[in-house]
Structure formats: structure tokens, C-alpha cells
């Protein structure tokens, strides 16, 4: 989906990596097509041939990020048949990465997120990420309820809460530079106390 | 703290209400001093006399919002001596408002939040909101643990998780227009299952 018009996947990959570097260096608001071209092997005019605007290029970049992240999420889902292990793997795939490594990228994504209320293309792409994670959590919890390892909770309600907690952890880290590492521990405790069927039941 | 230089509190209040209306109408990025003046009883030049820039005026506006919100939070804290009731009142003060009423304001605040990594004045003010809520939740949970009504959890870790969940609910609503009303129910269930000491203990 992040394929540029009439271009080989090598060039597309080069442009996406260049966009990644440029957005981390300049942030969203100050990013220019020239800055992206400077990081890539193509000229600014070639970049404009492939993408009409910075907006279109960033929409393609969000698709590119989605594909990378989705592959990690699918791998986490495939890790185990056990719903509890799968749920913890889903959390790790979203929160368990080095929180400082992608700080500049998270900052730029927060800027794009703040544009989403005004921008259908951004909003649609960010919703796809949110929905993919939410639904994976919901389905995993539903499997756990069916298998009798989780209590009889409403999987969709739990998934909304957990997705909100992880979204909030990312936002608090990016916007306020707050330490949110303890959120991973809290998610573990949540599975233990709220979801897992206790011995008393 | 939102007092303009050498000005009566009536004028300050007028300017803050005008800023509220203008930011809801125009959003953050497109907001101008002229648009704020148009909503108020003062001229654009008078506005510039009181505040050096749109940035200073918006910092004062964040102080103004903080004072209003803090009064609601303090009222919630004063509602009951019972830690469980107090905790639920804190959640209501943050999430229990009509989620659609302040939609435009939440959108603008998300834009300001996305500027916070680059802007000390915004970041400091947004952190104050976050910290005030986090600490209120932490202290209330600590009271509950001391009183034996809550389990022996780490109050700071729980407060970080709950603050993240509420922050994420606001962001998902503002950025993605997602329904997050169920988060209030999840917070109730969280208190029941994770915090409250069960009969078996």
C-alpha cells in the first residue's frame, strides 16, 4: 500500500527510510519534501513525481509503518495458542519495545494524530492501527473466556480499556516525557487479577 | 495565574472566555489574536498589550483551564472520606462529563499537546494537570491500602496505569472520534476486581 506510483519497491523502500529519518530529525510541522529528498537517493522533483505532496507522502509513510508493525503483531498472535500467553505477547509487541529508541518517531506521530480530526487520510490510517490492536485484544480475550481461562468479561469493553491505557502511555511519554515503563507491569497485573479466572471460581 | 498584566479580573475573564470560543471555532493552528479579539470586548492591540503573543495567551489559557478543572477535582476529593467513593468521584470528574460537549476544546488541547515536546511552557502546564490527577489517584489508593479496603498494591504504579487509560480515552476520542464511554465502566470494574479487597482475603 505504500508503493509509489510506477516505481520499483527498492525506490519506495529508499523513500520510506528517508522519510523515517527526516521526520525524526525535523518533526512533522517543519518537514519538507527537500529534507526527505536530502535523506534519499532521489531528487526533490523525482519525489514530487512519485507523491503529489508532503501530505500524500506521509499518508504512504503511515501505510509503511502499519505494515511493519502489523507483521510484528501477527507474529505475536502466532506465538501461542494459549490466550493468556497471546495477550501478553500482544502487549509486548506494542509496549515492550525500547521506549527511548523511537522517541522522535513517536513525537512526529503525535503531531500527525493531532491533525487527524481535520484530515481524513491520516484519521483513517491511525484508526486502522487502533482497530487492528483493539480487535486482536478483543478476540484473544474472547478465546480466553470461551476456553474458561478468563472470567466472563465483555471482551470488547476490556479491549477498549486496554487499548486506551496503551495509547495513553504512548501519548504521555511522547508529549510529557513521562516514564511509563510501569504500565507494562500493570498490564500483567490486570491479566492476573481482572481477567484470569481465580482458583476460588 | 491566568491574570493578564495590570488588568482587572473581569477583563481577564472576558479574554479567557473569548479564547475558549475562538480556539473551539478555529482550532489551535489557525487561531489568531484577531480571532480572539473578535470574540472579546477588547481590541487586538489591547490584547497584544496584555499578552506578548498567541503563545503567551494560550499558556495563560491553559492556566485558566487548570484552575477550573482543579476546582472540580478538589470538590471530588472532598466528597467522601471513603477511599473507594473518592476514587470513583475522581474518575467521574475526569471522564464523567458529557463527552461531546467539549469536543472542539479537546481537539485543540490535543494540538497543544503535540507541541509540548518542543515547547517548555505548554509541557510544564500539561504535566501539572497530569501530575495533579496522578497524585490524587495515588494518594487515594494509598489511603485505601492503609485502611485495608484496597489490596496491597503499589499506589504509584496503579495511578500511572489509570492516568494512562484516561489520557488514552481522551486522545482516542479527540483524534480518532472513537466511542470511549465504556472506559468509565471499565474503571469501575477495575476498582472492584483489581483494587478492592475481596471477601476471600
What pLDDT, in 10s, does the model give residues B8-27? 788 999 999 999 999 999 99
Please tell me if residue A188 touches chain B, with a CB cutoff of 8 Å: no
Split at pLDDT 50, 70, 90, the class of A95 is confident
Report pLDDT for A1. 46
Mean pLDDT, residues B25-40: 95
> B184 to chain A nearest CA, in Å?
9
In this complex, do B182 and A157 lie within 8 Å of one another by their Cβ atoms? yes
CB atoms within 10 A of CB A106: 19
Q: What is the mean pLDDT of chain A?
A: 90
Q: Which of A88-97, B19-28, B172-181 is modeled with the greatest confidence?
A: B19-28
CA B171 to CA A164: how far, in whole Å?
8
Give how far Cα A65 sits from Cα of A91, A103, A129, B68, B114, Å. Answer: 18, 15, 10, 39, 19
User: pLDDT-based confidence at A193, cuts 50/70/90?
Assistant: confident
Could you read off the pLDDT of A19-41 as tens digits, one per residue? 999 999 999 989 999 999 999 99
Q: Does B184 touch chain A (CB under 8 A)?
A: no
Check if the beta carbon of residue B2 is closer than 8 Å to that of residue B16: yes
Distance CA A15, CA A121 (A): 19
Q: What does the pLDDT look like over A36-87, one tens digit per residue? A: 999 999 999 999 999 999 999 999 999 999 999 999 999 999 989 999 999 9
How near does any CA of chain A get to the CA of B70, in Å? 19
Q: Do B164 and A168 lie within an 8 Å CB cutoff?
A: yes
Q: What percent of chain B has pLDDT over 90?
A: 77
Is the CB of residue A200 less than 8 Å away from at least one CB of chain B?
yes
Query: What residues of B are in contact with residue A123 (Cβ under 8 Å)?
Result: 175-177
The pLDDT value recorded for residue A179 is 82
Q: Would you list the DSSP string of B94-162? A: HH-S-TTTTHHHHHHHHHHHHHGGG-HHHHHHHHHHHHHHHHHHHHHHHHHHHHTSB-S--HHHHHHHH
Amino acid at each position: 500500500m505504500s508503493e509509489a506510483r510506477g516505481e520499483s519497491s527498492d525506490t519506495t523502500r529508499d523513500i520510506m527510510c528517508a522519510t523515517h529519518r527526516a521526520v525524526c530529525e525535523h518533526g512533522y510541522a517543519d518537514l519538507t519534501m527537500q529534507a526527505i529528498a536530502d535523506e534519499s537517493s532521489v531528487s526533490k522533483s523525482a519525489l514530487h513525481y512519485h507523491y503529489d505532496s508532503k501530505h500524500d507522502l506521509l499518508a504512504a509513510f503511515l501505510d509503511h509503518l502499519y505494515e511493519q508493525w502489523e507483521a510484528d503483531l501477527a507474529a505475536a498472535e502466532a506465538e501461542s495458542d494459549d490466550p493468556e500467553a497471546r495477550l501478553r505477547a500482544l502487549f509486548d509487541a506494542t509496549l515492550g519495545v525500547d521506549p527511548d529508541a523511537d522517541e522522535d518517531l513517536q513525537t512526529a506521530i503525535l503531531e500527525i494524530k493531532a491533525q487527524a480530526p481535520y484530515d481524513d487520510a491520516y484519521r483513517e490510517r491511525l484508526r486502522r492501527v487502533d482497530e487492528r490492536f483493539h480487535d486482536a485484544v478483543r478476540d484473544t480475550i474472547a478465546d480466553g473466556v470461551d476456553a474458561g481461562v478468563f472470567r466472563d468479561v465483555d471482551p470488547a469493553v476490556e479491549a477498549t480499556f486496554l487499548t486506551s491505557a496503551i495509547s495513553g502511555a504512548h501519548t504521555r511519554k511522547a508529549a510529557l516525557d513521562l516514564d511509563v515503563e510501569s504500565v507494562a507491569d500493570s498490564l500483567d497485573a490486570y491479566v492476573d487479577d481482572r481477567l484470569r479466572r481465580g482458583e476460588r471460581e
